[in-house]
Amino acid sequence: MYKIECDTHTHTLYSRHAYSTIEENIRSASEKGIKLLASTDHFSDMLFGDYENVKNYQYFFCCNNWPRQWKGVTLLRGCEADIVDMEGNFFGHDIAIRKSVIGDTYDPEKNLQEMVFEKLDFVIASVHAKRHTIGKSVAENTNMYIKALENPKVFFIGHIGRAGVPFEMDEVLKRARDLHKPIEINEHSFSWEGHHQMVCRELAVRCAELGVSICVNTDAHMALEIGETGRAQAMLEEIGFPQELIINRTRESFLQGLSECGIELTL
C-alpha cells in the first residue's frame, strides 16, 4: 500500500448528511496515523433553504477557532463548494448578504461566496447537481472545470471521476498541471461498480502519463472512514501509479503543493 499521511476531503455534522464532529474526525485521524486532516464541509444549496441568512454559515466564519495542531494532527480549514454554472462560478457568488450575524447592516452589501472563501485555507470544487450542464457540450463542460480550477482559492476538483459530467480529460489535466494543482481520486467513487471506477482508473493512468499530481482522499462522512482509501490505493497499485505524484503522501508534500499553486498558509 502507498504511504498517504493526509486526508484532505472530509465532512462533519455541518454537512447535514454526515455524522461526526470535528473532534471525532481528529481523534480518528490521530489513531490511524494521519498527520494532516482537512475538514471540508459542503458549501452548497443542499444545506439551507434560506440562502441569505448569514447565520447559517457561522460554522465557516468561526473555524479559525480550531487549533492548527490537535492530537498530533495538523488541521486545515476548507470547504467543498458546488460549481453552479458553466462559467465555473460557485455557490454563493450571486447571493448578497445585507446583514451581519448580529443584525448590523452591511454598506455596501457583501457577497456570500467571498465571505466564506476568505475564512478558509483552500476550496474543493465539485459538481453535485448537474442541471446547469444539461444539454451542454463536452467543450463547454471542459471550460467549466478549467474556470473553476483557475479560482485562486481552489486546490482541486472533487470526485470528478463520478460527477457524471463528460469532459475532455487531457485538457483539464494539462491545465491542472500548469496551475500546479492535483486531481482528486476519491475513495467514495469506488462504492459503485462500473463506470465511475473506469473513469477514475482512466484519470489516474493519464495523470501518470502526463505528470499530473493526484490527491487520494476518503470523502469521509463519518469518523470511522477517515484515512480509509484501500480501494483507491488498490487501483493505483494495479496500474503502477508513481508514489511521488501523490501530493498528500506526506504532510510536507501537501503543504508544499498548496504553496506551489499560490496558497500560502500560516500554521
**Which one-letter DSSP state was computed for residue 114?**
H
pLDDT beyond 90 at 169: yes
d(C-alpha 218, C-alpha 27), whole Å: 16
Q: Is 38 helix (H, G, I), strand (E, B) or coil?
A: strand
Nearest partner of 214 among 255, 178, 244, judged by Cα? 244
* Per-residue pLDDT band at 194 (split at 50, 70, 90): confident
Report the C-alpha gap between 206 and 173 in whole angstroms.
8
Q: Per-residue confidence at 192, pLDDT binned at 50, 70, 90? A: confident
3-state secondary structure of 139: helix
pLDDT digits (tens, 9 = 90+) for 130-150: 999 999 999 999 999 999 999
Decide: 200 and 161 in contact? Cβ < 8 Å: yes
CB-based burial label for 49 (10 Å; 0-12, 13-18, 19+): exposed
Q: Quick check: helix, strand or coil at residue 31?
A: helix
User: What does the pLDDT read at residue 1?
Assistant: 80
User: Rounded distance, CA 256 to CA 248, Å?
Assistant: 10
* Confidence (pTM): 0.97
Q: What is the pLDDT of residues 197-251, one digit of tens each?
A: 999 999 999 999 999 999 999 999 999 999 999 999 999 999 999 999 999 999 9
Q: What is the mean pLDDT of residues 147-157?
A: 98
List the domains of the chain with CATH numbers: 6-260 (3.20.20.140)
Q: List pLDDT tens digits, range 42-99.
A: 999 999 988 889 999 999 999 999 999 999 999 999 999 999 999 999 999 999 999 9
